[in-house]
Structure 1
Amino acid sequence: MSIDHDQVAKIAELARLKIEPSQLDQYAENLSSILDLADQLQAVDTDGIEPLANPLDAAQRLRADKVTETNQREHLQKNAPSAEAGLFLVPKVIE
């Protein structure tokens, strides 16, 4: 698949990227090669192949779920600008 300068400019606009006109050729070539690779991957027949969770087929070792530190809430909240009832108070940012 080949991408032209107009398509690169449109993609850059949508992504809010500033691309110099002198770089359009390089970006078009790079994006085209990425899309060509994706086309090659799409062409591979993967019917009947199970997805891998782990390429080594190994079990993940998990640590024991136990408390390893003491509660230091009061100590940590001493430096907080605002705290109440054991909670950090933060300014409202969503109306």
Structure 2
Amino acid sequence: MIEVTDKAAAELKSLLEQEGKPDLALRIFVAGVACSGIQYGLAFDDELKEDDVTMESNGIKLVMAKEIERNFSEGSIDFIEDENGKGFLIRNPSAGGGCGTCGGCH
């Protein structure tokens, strides 16, 4: 199960209200692969595909393709604000990574 934290849920609900589309789902997708592992992205979506898996966490409907769900069955989506800015943080403990080839990963 993917957990949407209270802070992330509040921010997502606010964004949905601003868009005037409170029924949209939050789609999790693969945005790329780096030496730290799979990088995920988020986008609002109103279409379900045949191979989609849906779930709900903290009042937010989540949608993702089955192959993503197999590799991202546990994790969290959080919202952070610090001196560097603000944004959503996706944590996937089963993502692995850290191949050591880029020189900048720790």
TM-score, normalised by the number of residues in structure 2: 0.23
Structure with the larger helix share: 1
TM-score, normalised by the number of residues in structure 1: 0.24
Structure with the larger strand share: 2
Flag the structure with more relative contact order, 1 or 2, with Cα contacts below 8 A and sequence separation at least 6: 2
